Every structure is written in structure tokens, then in C-alpha cells.
Copies of this chain bind each other. A is one copy, B any other.
Amino acid sequence: MTHTIKFAGVNFNRNGVLASGILGVTGSSMIKTAQGGAGGITCKSISKNFRKGHPTPVLQVFKHGVINAVGLSSTGVDNSNNELRNVKNNSDAVVIASVFGGTEIEFKETIEELDSSVYDIIELNISCPNVADEFGHAFANSPHSASNVMRIARSATNKPIIVKLSPNYPNIGLIAKACEDAGADGITAINTVGPGMLIDINTFQPKLTNKVGGVSGPAILPIAIRAVYDIYKAVTIPIIGMGGITEVEDAIQMIAVGAQLYGVGTGILYHGIDIFNTINTGIDEYLREKNLQYDDLVGIVHKQ
């Protein structure tokens, strides 16, 4: 898509979004990815203070995707302000600042410490499955805890806030609805699935230092499609749909079940950052062929 799409009040020049945690550490790779066609750029989740993350190996590839447990490494807010400012000044992409906190208050404080001129949208990452040892269940585990974070974060910024949900708890629709009621301007779905585990059959050790890691990539596409379908039924706020998208047809499915924007993370492993240009061009061709407007496609499955 090469024309403007409005999402949570913000104009996106192109309809693909870089998922959080992929090429999102430094400004320069985020700018580069915007050049690859991403209309929105989500940075690696920012925590208030420096976090080293888990020791490597933090990521392993299997035939159908990836498992990762980067463990929310973060340079902390100060450095993130600089990296995001770079993106904001040097690309036309919408900047989505993903934030992570161990407590509701930490979410609020982190947002407050972010320079509000360096981002367009805040994304609350309440759904990382890779820090369970440290933090227990993600806040995305219930309507109650998810909406609590949202409510408290709301007071920290006037910019739109979207909430990133997990497919690993039942009733994702109810949880999305609770976030909407608590003031969320949009939903991002899904974070990684599982978690999963892979074992080396020679050493009998888990292939990740953290033992378990969230599953991403093509393996999870059907789960992501279903989750976005459920969320679209439950809320009226817009959705960034991601999880397993590697081809234009995947993105079309995602938009058809209700995603206003599609997101790509692991897909970059298979097709590089040009995946955004490829998918955007593919969607344009598809719409022309079908004689459809982009807005008609969003959620069209629900109108059949």
C-alpha cells in the first residue's frame, strides 16, 4: 500500500509495521527497515533501566520458524530516546515505542521518561513469554491485569497507546475489549506463541539458555489469524496484525480478518527487510485485480 492509512489517529504512509524486537535496537537499522518499505517502526521493547537480557544462545531456528528468549534486553530509556529521535528525524515511518515494565507503575514511569517528541504511538508490551521466571504471568493473561496496565499508562502520555497481546491465554477477545474499555487506542497481536522448547539430541540440553522461548514465524500464522479475527469481533479500535507473515497472501489474510495494518518480524529472516516492499506491492496488485479499496479489505471476512 502506497497511500495513507489512518491508524489510531496517526497517518501511516505504508501499511506494514516492523514488529518489536526485530532490528529495533538502533536507530540506523530502524531507518533502514523503513527504507525497506515499513510504514511503521516498532522499536525493541524499552524498559526503564538497562537490561542485559538472557545470555546467548537467545534464538534458535527450526524448520517452521524461530524460538527466541532475548529476555527483553534494553539500553534503558535515555539511550532509547536517542535512537528513536534518529528514526523520527530520518525516516517518514510512524515511530511506535514499545515499552515494557515489571510493574504497572514501571510502565507509567518509562513512558514518562520517554521524550514525547521521539515517538508517535506507545505500544505496551504486556505479553512477552520469555521473562516468566522473572515476572511470572504476563499482564496479558487476564482482562483485569491487562486493563490495569492500560489504565495506569493512560495518564503518562497524550499520544495514542496500543496494547500488545499474547495468544497464550484464553479469550484474547475479552482481553482486547478490557483494554479498549481502559482507553487503548489500538491492539497489536500477536506476541510469540507457547513458549516452545527445542532439545539438542546429542547434549540433551535445551537449545536456548533460557530453556524455553516464544515461537514466531510461519508456524504460528493460523494462530495469529484466528487471534486477530477474535479481537476484531470484540473491539472497535484498530488492530496491527502480526505473527508468521512471510508472504503477501499471509498479509492479505491478516487484513481480511481485521488488521488495519500488518506486522512482520521473523519474516525478515527469510526475505530480508525488502519483505515490506514485496508485500506492499503485492497488496496493491491484489487490490487492483480485485477492484477493492484497502478499507474494504480490512475485516472483510466478518462481512461475508
Give A156-198 as 1s and 0s: 1 = Cβ < 8 Å from B's Cβ atoms. 0000000000011110000000000000000000000111111
Q: What B residues does A196 contact at CB under 8 A?
A: 221-223, 225-226
Interface: A219 (CB within 8 A): yes
Q: From B64, B170, B249, give the contact of A169 (CB < 8 A).
A: B170
Q: How far is the CB of A198 from chain B (nearest CB, A)?
A: 6
The answer to whether B170 and A206 touch across the interface, beta carbons within 8 angstroms, is no
Stretch among A30-38, A145-153, A250-258 lining the B interface? A250-258
Residue of B nearest to A141 (CB): B170
Contact partner, A197, options B197, B206, B225, Cβ 8 Å: B225
With both chains docked as a complex, state the minimum distance between the C-beta of A111 and any C-beta of chain B, in angstroms: 27
Q: Nearest chain-B residue to A249 (Cβ)?
A: B201
A301 partner, pick from B67, B169, B205, beta carbons under 8 A: B205
Determine how close the nearest CB of chain B comes to the CB of A70; give it in whole angstroms. 16
Contact at A201–B253, with CB atoms within 8 Å?
A: yes
A197 engages B219 (CB within 8 Å): no
Count residues of chain A with CB under 8 A from any CB of chain B. Answer: 44
**A3 neighbours in B (Cβ, 8 Å):** none
B residues in contact with A204, CB < 8 Å: 256, 300-301, 304
Q: Is the beta-carbon distance between A257 and B62 smaller than 8 angstroms?
A: no
With A64-B64, A168-B170, A301-B205 as contacts: A198 and B225 at CB distance below 8 Å: yes
**Which one of B193, B199, B223 lies within 8 Å of A253 (CB-CB)?**
B199
A218 touches B64 (CB 8 A): yes
A63 to B218, CA, bound (A): 8
- A215 contacts the other chain (CB 8 A): yes
Of chain B, the residue at the smallest CB distance from A62 is B222
* A220 (CB) vs chain B CBs: closest residue: B219
Please tell me if A137 contacts chain B, counting CB pairs below 8 Å: yes
A residues at B contact (CB < 8 Å): 62-65, 67, 137, 141, 167-170, 193-199, 201, 203-206, 211-212, 215, 218-223, 225-226, 229, 249, 252-253, 256-257, 286, 300-301, 304
